[in-house]
């Protein structure tokens, strides 16, 4: 592969975005690609925005994705998808968890809630896959595995082998949580394949 693949993973603190980006990065690295990753934590501990950018290819020079050049926008929370829509390239695909989490700025009264979120998502993303990752994670055995549901969905769209994904998860996820995360990953693959 001569071109660089750009993936922006976005959501709010506590959703496991950084763990997911570790799995994505390692799976690409195990597949023989040069990989660069960056993270923006913001107010992650308080439910603030979190973004991780993963780039892989034959040779990657920077971890930062230029605006409008992400091949995939993986949003762990619906409002964050809209907030980061300008990251996605024309023809790129947005994977969006339908879950909404009320941001601190809204719960504190600093900003109003967005009433037309579904309409905004429809207008912002021509190529979108909506996934009820919270329900899939609950069905897999733990609601904290939303991140692996979304990672599994992403894996359906990437040219990385199943073996690389499994090895990456085994290396990144603590063994006592591996089984439930593997179930969540499979649930995400299933959810993406039915869309």
Give the domain CATH number at 99.
3.40.920.10
pLDDT in tens, 95-106: 999 999 887 767
pLDDT for residue 43: 56
pLDDT in tens, 13-58: 889 999 999 999 999 999 999 999 998 766 555 567 889 999 999 9
The model carries a pTM of: 0.93
What is d(CA 78, CA 59) in angstroms, rounded to the nearest whole number? Answer: 32
Handedness of CA 122, 13, 36, 30 (dihedral sign): negative
pLDDT for residue 45: 56
pLDDT for residue 112: 79
Pick from 34, 41, 38: nearest CA to 15: 41
Return the CA Rg of the chain. 16
Beta bridge partners of residue 5, listed in sequence order = 56
- 77 lies in which domain range? 5-193
> Number of folded domains in the chain?
1
pLDDT for residue 160: 96
């Amino acid at each position: 592969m001569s071109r660089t693949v750009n993936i922006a993973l976005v959501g709010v603190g506590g959703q496991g975005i950084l763990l997911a980006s570790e799995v994505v990065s390692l799976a690409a690295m195990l597949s023989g690609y040069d990989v660069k990753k960056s993270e923006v934590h913001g107010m992650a501990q308080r439910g603030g925005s979190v973004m991780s950018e993963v780039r892989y290819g034959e040779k990657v020079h920077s971890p930062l994705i230029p605006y409008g050049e992400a091949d995939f926008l993986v949003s762990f929370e619906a409002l964050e998808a809209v907030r980061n829509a300008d990251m996605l390239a024309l023809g790129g695909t947005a994977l969006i968890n339908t879950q909404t989490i009320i941001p601190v700025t809204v719960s504190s009264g600093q900003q109003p809630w967005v009433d037309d979120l579904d309409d905004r998502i429809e207008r912002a993303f021509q190529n979108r896959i909506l996934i009820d990752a919270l329900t899939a994670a609950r069905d897999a055995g733990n609601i904290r595995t939303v991140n692996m549901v979304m990672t599994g969905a992403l894996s359906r769209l990437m040219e990385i082998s199943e073996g690389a994904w499994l090895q990456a998860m085994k290396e990144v996820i603590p063994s006592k949580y591996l089984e439930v995360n593997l179930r969540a990953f499979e649930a995400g693959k299933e959810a993406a394949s039915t869309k």
